[in-house]
Amino acid sequence: MKQFKLLCKSPWFVFGAAMFLFCIFVGVLYPMFSHTDPLLRGALPFEGPSREHWLGTNGEGQDMFSALLFGLRSSLFVGIAAGIFATIIGTVIGIVGGYKGGWVDNVLTLITNLFMVIPSILVLILIANSIEKRSMLLVAFIIGATTWPWTARAVSAQTSSLKNREHVSLAKLNGYGIVSILFMQILPYIMSYVFMVFIIQMATGILEEAAISMMGLGPYDSVTLGQIINQAQKTEAFSNGNWWAFMPATVLITALQFSLYVVNTSMEGIFNPRLRKES
Amino acid sequence: MTDAKNASEKPKVLLTVDNLGVHYKTRFGQTVQAVDGVSFSLAQGKVFGIAGESGCGKSTLVNGVMSLFIPPLFYSYGSVVVDGEDITKYDSERLRVEILGKKISMIPQGALNSLNPTRKVKHFATDVMRNHEKNLSKAEIYDRLEDRFEAIGLDPRVLNMFPIELSGGMKQRVVIGISTLMNPHVVIADEPTSALDVSTQKSVIRMLLDLMERKIFGSMIFITHELPLLYHVADDIAVMYKGKFVEVGESDQVIFRPRHEYSKQLMEAITKLSTTGERHSEGARL
């Protein structure tokens, strides 16, 4: 609570968090109350911004404003879910490997290193390509399953330094099981780090979703920000100078990344005692 | 008849350590015999003191008595019998469920850092109880915690505090409270007072003896490198040197009439005030 109060005193944190929360607010509320179907081809292709279509229409005559906000919701969903998956996978692998040590750690480190050296985007493309019907949740899981290694490595390093602390020994001596030690004694210690990792994983999730959707490998059941850019690419909006078909989605992805980056760095400034400026 | 009466009055033996040996394996494959052929037994209501210099194997012996063989520490030979069963034969899960915290508990060295700074005292204590008795309700747990904390002279409000809010002596009491929550047969206190000032040391020792008298735990192994301290605490004392017990006897005998050369030197090494007021000390020469 004290740290949250400190965070709220950081103008950069407030700025980043407000920006991200505003995106969530708009992305969640607009699709709930809007009666416009983002897939409805209700106008001519590439109409410029007007009173009826605030951000114009795309190459298929669909309203860009609706598409953008529906896309925002989907991208946020994929990003948050991918962040959760990656954080859970990375934290569990890291904490178990770091605590158990020995051959368990060796095997888990080997798997982590393998995932690290193979470019995740390549794995992502291959997996996404091999699955025909990709729901948002599945895409999020695929992203999460390929972006966890750095989390695992960092959590493992922290756990191996924590496992010999006196409070862990006392817990062991009093009959704590391994699950209790990991989740009651070690995880609370590294929770602030894990939360910061989650923020970064969320940003990575949004970016990776945009990347694979741009290649046409995104979810099949919804509009996402990446798919808007993919659509613009397919209908040659870039070469025709129809900026409204791709620029708002690009700006929105950049804004989401920027807000999460700012939140993460300002959190580091509070959670890391070496960087903390005492008031 | 008299023999039978004496036998029935004889306190129950809670722990028997017989010819216990444990060793470390170094990274380069060498074996270091850290505890070598140690034997003793501990009866209900008794305090067994172990004294010796730093590095003589006291803490390793504790791990051996608890059968906590975590590499690079390994079992060599001997037995540790609790309730008629040799616990060195138990696997780690059985040891955790049946022995640790329940039959043998430990107050570790450096107890001042033994509480998790991110969790309130009550959460740590609740977890200990839940690990042994899964079906306890929240109300039962808190009732027992409050009773126990009152018994160790702490306000139950301490349960709602984080370790950072407690003084050194309070932290030590909390650790003792947590370690004795399951009313163990044997408590092993590994230098429980080394980081405390003299007056707090005294009150902590008094509290431990009081808890034993009230049968909150059965008996105690008290480990320290301060031989004179044991005189006030222990019924029997063992002097440990290079992994072996070089002398075992009643506390009066070991303190005032030590037989072994090392015990004598350990007693001589204590800083004394001479009649002229000068301080002098002699180091152990072994």
Residues A81, A144 contacting (CB under 8 angstroms): yes
Long-range contacts of B30-39 (CB under 8 A, 24+ apart): B33/B76, B33/B243, B34/B60, B34/B73, B34/B243, B35/B60, B35/B61, B35/B64, B35/B76, B35/B243, B36/B242, B36/B243, B36/B244, B37/B78, B37/B244, B38/B64, B38/B78, B38/B240, B38/B243, B38/B244, B38/B245, B39/B78, B39/B245
The predicted structure's pLDDT at residue B281:
45
> Chain A neighbours among B 133-192 (CB < 8 Å)?
175, 178-179, 181-182
Q: Does B74 touch chain A (CB under 8 A)?
A: no
Contact B111 A166 (CB under 8 A): yes
Predicted confidence band at A143 (pLDDT cuts at 50, 70, 90)?
very high
* Among the partner residues A102, A166, A188, nearest to B114 by beta-carbon distance: A166
How far does CA B11 lie from the centroid of its chain? 20
The predicted structure's pLDDT at residue B286:
38
Give the gap in angstroms from C-alpha A143 to the nearest C-alpha of chain B: 32
Contact B68 A172 (CB under 8 A): yes
Q: Does B120 touch chain A (CB under 8 A)?
A: no
Predicted confidence band at A250 (pLDDT cuts at 50, 70, 90)?
very high
**B-chain residues near A180 (CB < 8 A):** 127, 131
Which ranges of A34-101 does DSSP label H, i.e. alpha helix? Answer: 64-100
pTM of the model: 0.82
What digits encode the pLDDT tens for the residues B63-97? 999 999 988 999 999 999 998 899 999 999 999 99
The predicted structure's pLDDT at residue B17:
96
What digits encode the pLDDT tens for the residues B8-32? 567 889 999 999 999 999 988 899 9
The predicted structure's pLDDT at residue B271:
56
Give the gap in angstroms from C-alpha A21 to the nearest C-alpha of chain B: 28
What digits encode the pLDDT tens for the residues B163-206? 999 988 889 889 999 999 999 999 999 888 877 788 888 888 89
What digits encode the pLDDT tens for the residues A212-239? 998 888 888 788 999 999 999 888 888 8
Using alpha carbons, list the distances in angstroms from residue B140 to A48, A279, B146, B182.
Answer: 70, 44, 10, 13
Predicted confidence band at B1 (pLDDT cuts at 50, 70, 90)?
very low
How far does CA B80 lie from the centroid of its chain? 15
Predicted confidence band at A95 (pLDDT cuts at 50, 70, 90)?
very high
Say how far apart CA A190 and CA A98 lie, in whole Å.
Answer: 13
Q: What is the ipTM of this complex?
A: 0.81
What digits encode the pLDDT tens for the residues B44-57? 999 999 998 889 99
**Structure-derived torsion over alpha carbons of residues A192, A198, A203, A207, reported in degrees to the nearest 10:** 150
